[in-house]
A and B are shown apart, each in its own frame.
Chain A
Amino acid sequence: MKAFSYLSAPDVATAVRAIADRPNAKFIGGGTNLVDLMREEIERPDTVIDITRLPLTEVEELPGGGVRIGALVRNSHLAANRLIRTRYPMLSQALLSGASGQLRNMATVGGNLLQRTRCLYFYDDAAACNKREPGSGCEAVGGFTRSHAVLGTSAACIATHPSDMCVALAALDATVVAESVRGERRIPISEFHLLPGERPDIETTLTADELITAVELPDVPVAATSRYRKVRDRASYAFALVSVAAALEVTGGTVSAVRLAMGGVAAKPWRAREAERLLLGGPADVESFRRAAATELAPAVAQPGNAFKIELAQRVIVATLAQLLAEGSAA
Chain B
Amino acid sequence: MPLLELVNLDVGFDTPEGEVHAVNELNFSIEAGEALAIVGESGAGKTQSMMAVMGLLADNGHVSGQALFNGNDLLSMGAGELNQHRGSQIAMIFQDPMTSLNPYLSIEKQMIEVVMHHQGLDRAEAHAKAVEMLRAVRIPDPERRIGQYPHEFSGGMRQRAMVAMGLLCEPDLLIADEPTTALDVTVQAQIGHLMSELRQTSNTAIILITHDLGVVAGLCDRVLVMYAGEVVEWGSVEQIYYQPLHPYTRGLLESVPRLDQPDDAVLHAIPGNPPNLLALPDGCKFRDRCPKAHDACREEPPIRQGGEGHSYRCFLERTDE
User: Do the two shown chains form a genuine complex with each other?
Assistant: no
